[in-house]
Amino acid sequence: MRASHLVFPLLTVTLLATPALAQSNGSSLMQDAGALMGGASGSGLASKLPIPAVSDDSALSYLKAARSALASGKTGLAQEALERAESRLLTRDVAPSQAGAPSTDPSISEISKALQALASGQTSTALQVVDALIAKM
């Protein structure tokens, strides 16, 4: 009978402490954007990233920022810069009748390759793809 009286308080303490432990683990991951790569979400890409500083809002500027971040080992910053470069290329002026047609710009698929390489930890491959993209622009 006494053992059952101890089980309930022990179970209650365990259930209340679990969210706090999970939160402390998550907050330490958020401090290092590079540690987020392949971490918390399981997708290989981070969800909350630092914003790259660029002189203008062009795809080329974001690619250069991605290149710099990759060279410095700042994978979270590189990911955000690549995603922003991709967004700039996807934002284009087209006739209303072609608004639903996907973009045929090959740079978009190259950025996707760089993001996939980055997500799988192949930083040097991502850097090579970004260098080739910058050279083409």
Total domains in the fold of the chain: 2
The per-residue pLDDT for range 99-130, each reduced to its tens digit, is 888 889 999 999 999 999 999 999 999 999 99
Same domain, 19 and 72: no
| Residue 94 is assigned to a structural domain of this protein | yes
Residue 49 lies in a domain: no
Each residue's pLDDT tens digit, 34-85: 444 444 445 566 567 889 999 999 999 999 999 999 999 999 999 999 999 9
Those residues with Cβ within 8 angstroms of residue 61's Cβ, 6 or more apart along the chain or in another chain: 54, 55
Show the DSSP H helices in the chain as ranges. Answer: 2-31, 33-36, 59-71, 75-90, 106-119, 123-136
- Asked if residue 53 is part of any domain, the answer here is no
Number of residues that make up the chain:
137
How far apart are the C-alpha atoms of 5 and 2, rounded to whole Å? 5
Note the pLDDT of residue 3: 53
What pLDDT, on a 0 to 100 scale, did the predictor assign at position 49? 84
User: Does 23 share its domain with 68?
Assistant: no
- Domain of residue 14, residue span: 2-31
